[in-house]
Structure formats: structure tokens, C-alpha cells
Amino acid sequence: MNEKLILAGGGGHCKAVIDVVEKEGTYTIAGILDRPEMVGETVLGYEIVGTDSDIPKLAAEGYHFLVTVGQIASPKIRIEIFERIERHTDNIATVVSPLAYVSPHAEIGRGSVVMHHALINAGAMIGENCIVNSKALVEHDATVEAHCHISTGAILNGGTLVRIGTFIGSNAVSKEYVETKPFDFIKAGTLFKGHDNG
Ligand SMILES: CC(C)(COP(=O)(O)OP(=O)(O)OC[C@H]1O[C@@H](n2cnc3c(N)ncnc32)[C@H](O)[C@@H]1OP(=O)(O)O)[C@@H](O)C(=O)NCCC(=O)NCCS
């Protein structure tokens, strides 16, 4: 299988995703979507072929899609693009780096990307449109709801519940079985013990 993939968002996170997509090999990158003034530019040799308004046309032509906008201050743009894609096609890619380990007893939602050297353990669940970034560890029975970014090197210990739209910063560590708020922002390097536990 070699499906043609459109990446929505041409910034820094897109570069990291390109590396994963190339290594994984299921998809051929057919182009990138970005702002109108970026059309015709390239990212790691792949052309910016259009903008988000081309999603309906490209969907009708059978392309697959992955949101490659990054997510730090807010998940809003990633959610908007994901929902736009979802309205036009079911061809939403899920990409797992061959250098990552995902337990066969874990689940990864569509539109999510698992980057190099991430580790997702048994019983973990990752929702739709998430980023599990390089070297992140999602321990047993942790749940990450839709539209979350688990940043580089973050550790979600067993049973952690990361609610929708949440950002977990680099090297943040969660205590086991704690819960974030929806659309939460956990700073890089934090020891997160839950909101009721300091
Ligand atoms: C690096 C960091 C810890 C600095 O924190 P700090 O020195 O305490 O600084 P502040 O709390 O003033 O926040 C600085 C920035 O963090 C982000 N931030 C902090 N709290 C936030 C919140 N509740 N919601 C959204 N963004 C927030 C904003 O981008 C803010 O930028 P601004 O100054 O334009 O508002 C924090 O910015 C952070 O965790 N950033 C993400 C780094 C990271 O993990 N990147 C992932 C790469 S994969």
C-alpha cells in the first residue's frame, strides 16, 4: 500500500512528521497545505501545493490527510483543520514511527502521530488528532483524549488521564492516576500531581 498523503501545516512540526512518514513508508507525501503566501515554497523538498480551502477538492480526489500544525499555546488551529478534513473524508492517516514502541494492547486514534522513540504501553489509549512526540512515554492504562500534544520526553505515568485539547510540555512528569483539566497547559519540566494535589 502506498497512499498519497497531504500534510496540513508546513512549520517545524511538519518537518519532524515528514521524517516519520518517510521512515514509516506507508504513505507518499503528495504535498503540504499552508498559508496562501507560502504556496510554491517547499518543506524538506515537498511542495506547498495549496491552503486549507483546497481540502474539499483534494479529499474528493482521494488523498489522505494528516494535520501537521504544531500545538503549544492552543490546540484551536489543529482542531479546526482536523474537523474540516473530517467533514470531507474518512481518509485520515495515523502514523507511528517504526522507531517507536506501541504495545499491541494500546490504541491510537486516527489522525494521531507517534514520533521516533515514543513508548506507549499496554492498556494506554491515545485519542484522535494527537501528537505523541519524540521520546514521550505513555505508561500503562494512561488515556490521552483527542487533540492533545504530549511533548518531547514527557512521561505520563500509569493511569494518567489527559483531557481533551491538553498540552503536556517537554519533560513534564505526571504522578500516576492523576487527571488534567480539558484544554489544560502543563508547563515543560513540571511534576504534575493533579490539580488538587499541588
Ligand atoms: C518554557 C516554559 C516552561 C516557560 O514558562 P515560564 O517561564 O513560566 O513562562 P510563562 O508562564 O510566562 O509562559 C511563557 C509561554 O508559555 C506558554 N504558556 C504558559 N502558560 C500557558 C497556558 N496556560 N496556556 C497556553 N500557553 C501557556 C505561552 O506560550 C507563553 O507565551 P506568552 O508569553 O506569549 O504568553 C513554558 O513556556 C512551556 O512549557 N513552554 C512549552 C515548551 C515545550 O514543552 N515545548 C514542546 C516542544 S515539543
Q: Mind listing the pLDDT tens digit for each residue in 139-152?
A: 999 999 999 999 99
pLDDT given at position 2: 83
Question: Is a pLDDT exceeding 60 seen at residue 79?
Answer: yes
How many whole angstroms from 165 Cα to the centroid of ligand 1? Answer: 15
The answer to whether 150 and 120 are in contact (CB under 8 A) is no
**Which amino acid residue places its CA nearest to atom 33 of ligand 1?**
73
State which of 133, 185, 187 you would mutate to test the pocket of ligand 1, scoring each by most atoms of that ligand within 8 A of its C-beta: 187
Global pTM? Answer: 0.95
pLDDT score, position 175: 98
pLDDT at position 196 is 80
Residue-level pLDDT at 90 = 98
Q: Residue 7: is its pLDDT beyond 60? A: yes
Whole-number Å distance, alpha carbon 173 to ligand 1 midpoint, is 16
As a whole number of angstroms, the distance between CA 159 and CA 194 comes to 12
Q: Whose CA is nearest to atom 9 of ligand 1?
A: 187
Longest dimension (CA), the chain: 51
Cβ neighbours for 143, distance < 8 A, ≥ 6 positions apart? 124, 125, 127, 160, 161, 162
Question: Angle CA(58)–CA(96)–CA(173) in degrees, nearest 5?
Answer: 120
Compute the distance from residue 112 Cα to the ligand 1 centre, in Å: 23
pLDDT of residue 198: 52
Whether residue 1 is predicted with pLDDT greater than 60 in this model: the reply is: no
> At a CB cut-off of 8 Å and minimum separation 6, what does 79 contact?
129, 147, 165
pLDDT, tens only, 95-133: 999 999 999 999 999 999 999 999 999 999 999 999 999
- The Cα 64–Cα 117 span in angstroms is 25
User: Are the C-beta atoms of 91 and 110 separated by less than 8 Å?
Assistant: no
Q: Determine the residue type at 144.
A: V
pLDDT in tens, 127-184: 999 999 999 999 999 999 999 999 999 999 999 999 999 999 999 999 999 999 999 9
**Residue 24 three-state SS:** helix
For residues 146 and 93, what is the distance between their CA atoms, to the nearest angstrom?
15
SS3 20: helix
